[in-house]
Amino acid sequence: MLLALTACGGGGGGDEEPSEEESPAAAVAIAIAPEDGAVDVPTQGELAVTAEGGTLTEVTVAGPEGEEVAGELTEEADAWAPSEALANDTEYTVTAVGENGEGESETATATFTTVAADATFSSYWNIPDGSEVGVGMELSVTFDTAIENTAEVRDAIQITTDPPVEVRGHWFGNQRVDFRPEEYWEPGTEVEIRFRLRGVEGADGVFGTLREDVTFTVGRSQVSTVDAAAHTMEVVRDGEVLRTVPITAGAPGTETWNGKMVITEKHKETRMDGATVGFGGEYDIPDVPHAMRLSTSGTFVHGNYWASSATFGSDNVSHGCVGLEDRQGAGDPNTDAAWFYENSMIGDVVEVINSEDDVIAPDNGINGWNMDWADWGAGQ
């Protein structure tokens, strides 16, 4: 009797298929590496967030002071990775939010601590923040210790420009890397440098500490050509000749370097002691006027008050510098040296031609323009 009642129950619908309820959508699965509670985590190459069965809508990685780590989502929004290294010996909290195809949200969190540095390296650069420079300026970054991971350190110095132009870095040895475009900068270019060296391992156990943003603007174009044989310097600004001035260059035996050189320092007056550049006691002038440095080894373009006026434009008598007529005390604004000093800025180019010497080495000063673009950055 019980069996019969069970079989005949339901009244009138015995020949229909039973309905099935739709299965709920699977939740998005969020994975965070490293796992929660991890310690001694590498500052690079370890942190990653992924989503399976959905997309990531928000990822936040924050340090103890609330500072967030920059990162990027993939085009499919199913993975996130940091765009810079993490700080050493720091606790980070990861919060990731994702959703499935139905818009249902899930949140995952993890906390981990990065590895401590055995040692750190310091970084120094040559362009002050907010400065205006000439079209020949190169960014030169030096380090207080030898760098083994040169590609990682170079790539942690991120340069963007407006208008856009390709900028490459080139290593001179293992403690200096310089950056420049293929040709001189276009006047008016705005450049942003993002130093993201903090947490970058430069050598085994040795990490960077610098995380800073710097900007500079390229001013007007000025390129001056010194013809050592003709004893002249033609000053060209934005394609127009401003002035051609008589000069004296390096005497036989102490000729001026050929090549493109960039002004890196300006001194209204400075002392020049031959002993500091290998000339013994041949000269020691305490008040050289209107001096502008062109090389690390001591090449300057500067005023000269001790030679006769007839020297300029006719003879090469210097120890390798480019001399322009001047007056002692740097107080006469009408001299060629004073005029050139007032009309020059850091980053302007002075190119020497027709001298009986070699082309200056690209790392003797900020003079990478003397290296072919095909070789600039090659193998680094």
Which residue among 170, 231, 290, 302 is the active-site one?
Answer: 302
Burial of residue 237, with CB atoms counted within 10 A of its CB: 0-12 exposed, 13-18 middle, 19 or more buried = middle
Contacts of 137 (CB under 8 A, 6+ apart): 127, 185, 216, 218, 262, 346, 347, 366
| Angle 351-218-85 from CA coordinates, rounded to 5° | 110
CA-wise closest residue to 45 among 87, 85, 78, 73: 85
What amino acid is encoded at 38 in this protein? A
CA-wise closest residue to 292 among 320, 317, 262, 315: 262
Instruction: State the residue for tokens 């475009």.
Output: 181
For the question of residue 8 being annotated catalytic, the response is no
Estimate to the nearest angstrom the gap between the alpha carbon of 240 and the chain centroid.
31
What is d(CA 163, CA 166) in angstroms, rounded to the nearest whole number? Answer: 10
For the question of residue 321 being annotated catalytic, the response is yes
What is d(CA 39, CA 31) in angstroms, rounded to the nearest whole number? Answer: 18
Which residue among 170, 290, 319, 321 is the active-site one?
Answer: 321
Q: What is the DSSP string of 11-41?
A: SS-TTSPPP-PPPPPPPPEEEEESPTT--SB
What is d(CA 252, CA 270) in angstroms, rounded to the nearest whole number? Answer: 25
What amino acid is encoded at 247 in this protein? I
Beta bridge partners of residue 270, listed in sequence order: 288
Ramachandran assignment for 330, one of left (phi > 0), alpha (psi -120 to 50 degrees), beta (any other): left
What is d(CA 273, CA 285) in angstroms, rounded to the nearest whole number? Answer: 6
- What phi, psi does 3 have (nearest 5°)? -65, -40
Active site residues per annotation? 302, 321
